[in-house]
Amino acid sequence: MTSALTGQVHIVTGSGRGIGLAIAHAMAEAGAAVVINDVDADVAEAAADRIRAAGGRAAVAVAAIGETEAADHCIRVALDQFGRMDGLVANAGVLRDAILWKVTDDDFDSVLRTHLRGAFTCGRAAARYFREAEQGGTVTLVSSVAGQRGNVGQTAYSAAKAGVAALARTWSMELSRAGVSVNAIVPTAVTRMVATIPGLGEVVEAAERGEPIPHRLRHELGLGTPQDVAPLAVFLASEAGRQITGQCIGIGGDRLSLWSHPQEIALCHQEGGWNADSIAEAWAHTMSMHRQKVGIDQKT
């Protein structure tokens, strides 16, 4: 798929480092022009320079993702520099991990502003452009296993990433008539965010030193590098990938997965409605056997 995105223009938010940087590089290698976004101008310029040095096309949009102005700025850069936009990857994020009773208002708001409000403002700006341009396009959001399963110490992050998955499902319906596919990537990769998970800090440090990720982690937990995640973003932006919409797709290490959407898995009826005693009986005899597990498998 080395030429899968030739002639396309894609914005990748939070692409100065980590997964966003890997996605931007992969898209450039596939022929797309990319807009690199980061809050740090030096980091963004360095990322763009690396793409240009490899023969790709890149522009820089320095902005703290979250507010409407930042989203509009990213699109203006794409139009000013390359004349069009074909896709958005809403990847920007921050972490402020803490156990529930230690989460501050400011930290909670910061995480929700970047991950969830950022996905919203960028997605809305992209939708407005695509509807006016009448050319179709792609919106790829970045969710998380924590948003699907929950994770200790990640109140804000889990809430934001669950919201991102919900946005993908809703937008896939709202933008279908405009020819825009919307999906969420659920990545697992050794990044600065993963380093905060108990037991994985040493794995991240080893990977940063260039050491290979243990096979069991790559194969069973799907824990790989940011470069392992990037091909999914390229595929979703390709002609074949545009036929897929409304899905949450996991990737990492050696694993590719499709996440289920929330749905009823057990159902009881009680003529005339329910009271506490009848609910207790239904739970004991029917519902309890369908209880769902929570949390991320962190065995290393």
Give the separation between CA 282 and CA 292, rounded to whole angstroms: 16
What CA–CA distances, in Å, run from 69 to 11, 44, 77, 90, 235? 15, 18, 12, 15, 29
User: Which distant-in-sequence residues (6+ apart) come within 8 Å of 216 by Cβ?
Assistant: none
Q: DSSP for 97-116, please give it.
A: -B-GGG--HHHHHHHIIIII
What CA–CA distances, in Å, run from 72 to 60, 79, 124? 13, 11, 10
Give the separation between CA 106 and CA 248, rounded to whole angstroms: 29
Strand order of the β-sheet with 137-142 is 57-62, 33-38, 9-12, 87-90, 137-142, 180-187, 248-252, 255-258
**149 contacts 296 by C-beta, under 8 angstroms:** yes
**142 contacts 184 by C-beta, under 8 angstroms:** yes
**180 contacts 228 by C-beta, under 8 angstroms:** no
118 in helix, strand or coil? helix
Compute the chain's Rg from CA coordinates.
Answer: 20
The reply to whether 129 belongs to the active site is no
In the set 157, 180, 232, 249, the catalytic residue is 157
The residues pairing with 10 across neighbouring beta strands, listed in sequence order, are: 34, 87
Within 10 Å of residue 230's Cβ, how many Cβ atoms? 27
**82 contacts 92 by C-beta, under 8 angstroms:** no
Q: Which residues form the catalytic set?
A: 157
